[in-house]
Amino acid sequence: MEEIVNPTQAKFAPITDAPGKFTVEATAGKARAAKLETAHGPVETPVFMPVGTKATVKAMLPEELKDIGAQIILGNTYHLHLRPTSELIKSQGGLHQFMNWDGPILTDSGGFQVFSLSGLRKINEEGVEFKSHIDGAKFFMSPESSMEIQMNLGSDIIMAFDECVEYPAEKSRIKESMDMTHRWLERCKAAMTRKESLLFGIVQGGLDIELRRESLKQITSVDLPGYALGGFSVGEPIHLMHDLVKEMGHEMPEEKPRYLMGVGTPLDLILMVDAGIDMFDCVMPTRVARNGTLYTWQGKISIKRSEYKNDPSPLDPECECYTCKNYSKAYLRHLFVAGEILSSRLNTIHNLHFYLHLMKKARKAIQDGVWESFRDHCLARFS
């Protein structure tokens, strides 16, 4: 029963061992349409990456993700490290084969979850000791072990291990932390030995523009195939994030992909594409779908509302997704009220389709030279 899958014979082995090529194909102001090559195929940007925390995008099959246009998905290092462990996934041929997804995978570093989910932690220069949120067992994670875990998973894009500072925090605290994140990045790069994977560095610096610029300088002093903005979605007022990324998002290297971690709403995505960001991920569209909240071009819908009880119309008449083409609001409300699994499925299909097609349309608008009017149309409808 303990047969091991040889990773080199894995069903979804990397198709290239020299990934990382990044091509900006069109621009409109700071917004860009680009393409990033990974070991499991290209990613066309701007792109939204559905979150598959525990080796599954909740309620979805890989084929369904492909059908609605998902190009790349995200896995969570913290969760997979605790259960089923990265060693187990490696023994099963890596994360692609384990979960039957043949496209690109990005994994976070575990840093964010260590800070957000683990109640008890001790942090020092070496790394972080923390307790599992599942059973309280003690773990230690360092830049080196985060790299090892992500290499075990066989990720196409590996995120550097960083410290994510709470909000609000003193400037001195943020400064110390971002300096350590820089030193940790050097250790991540030294530990990264898997040539099929791309290591992305993470810019920190809280909500202070000076510190952000200093962190950007530090992080980009390490030559890497991509850079991210981390440390948002920690409770700060959303307009502060908008202002900051508008100010300095486009100062990130032009010739490398720019990834804004953990953001956001449809409105956030359009604003941040306009600020020069290429890549996004967020649990929101999948999480709120399971709670009955649906994004439409007419605004957000809470499907449990009694006004939809007898409503034979689709969620969104402008939507081409499987859910909208085949089911009424009345049926979706019934499924939600009855607590049926199909409710989570149909809602998730719709919300992810909405996000993925929003980015697809943004890309086309940039390429077609109509970004500004598309952006303004979106802002008017989402605001």
Which residues form the interface with its own copies (CB under 8 A)? 1-5, 54-56, 58-61, 83-84, 88, 91-93, 98-100, 307-313, 326-328, 330-331, 333-335, 337-338, 340-342, 344-345
CB of 281 to its own copies, least distance (A): 19
Contact 340, 32 (CB under 8 A): no
- Minimum CB distance to its own copies smaller for 60 or for 164: 60
Largest alpha-carbon pair distance within the chain? Answer: 61
Cis upstream peptide for 50 (omega within 30°): no
Structure tokens belonging to residue 15: 């198709």
Nearer to its own copies, 242 or 345 (CB): 345
The strand pair at 226-229 and 258-260 is best described as parallel
Interhelix angle 371-382/341-367, nearest 10 degrees: 150
As given in the structure block, the two tokens for residue 181 are 């994140």
Q: Which of 156, 274, 278, 281 is catalytic?
A: 281
DSSP secondary structure letters along 27-88: EETTEEEEEEEETTEEEEESEEE-B-TTSS-TT--HHHHHHTT---EEE-HHHHHHTT-HHH
Give me the least distance between CB of 328 and its own copies, in Å please: 6
The answer to whether 155 and 188 have CB atoms below 8 angstroms apart is no
Q: Which is nearer to its own copies, 345 or 350 (CB)?
A: 345
Smallest separation (angstroms) from its own copies to the CB of 306: 10
Q: Which is nearer to its own copies, 3 or 223 (CB)?
A: 3
Q: Least separation, in Å, of the C-beta of 3 and its own copies?
A: 6
What are the residues facing 299 on neighbouring strands? 296
User: Is 320 or 340 the residue whose CB approaches its own copies more closely?
Assistant: 340
Residues counted in the chain:
383
DSSP state of 207: T
CA distances from 28 to 25, 44, 244 (A): 11, 16, 20
Strands of the chain, DSSP E: 22-28, 31-38, 41-45, 47-49, 73-75, 105-107, 121-124, 127-131, 138-141, 157-159, 198-203, 226-229, 258-260, 279-281, 293-296, 299-302
Task: Determine which one of 67, 108, 223, 376 is catalytic.
Answer: 108
**How far is residue 308's CA from residue 294's CA, in Å, rounded to a whole number?**
13
**Least CB distance to its own copies at residue 11 (A):** 9
- Min. distance of Cβ 358 from its own copies in angstroms? 24
Q: How far is the CB of 343 from its own copies (least distance, A)?
A: 9
Contact 194, 171 (CB under 8 A): no
| CA–CA–CA angle 207, 209, 210 (5° rounding) | 125
Instruction: Reduce the DSSP state of residue 130 to 3 states and report it.
Output: strand
108 in catalytic set? yes
**How far apart (Å, rounded) are the C-alpha atoms in residues 252 and 34?**
15
Closer residue to its own copies in complex, CB, 83/183: 83
Least Cβ distance, residue 70 to its own copies (angstroms): 15
Q: Between residues 135 and 255, which has the closer beta carbon with respect to its own copies? A: 135
82 or 216: CB nearest its own copies? 82
Active site positions, annotated? 108, 281
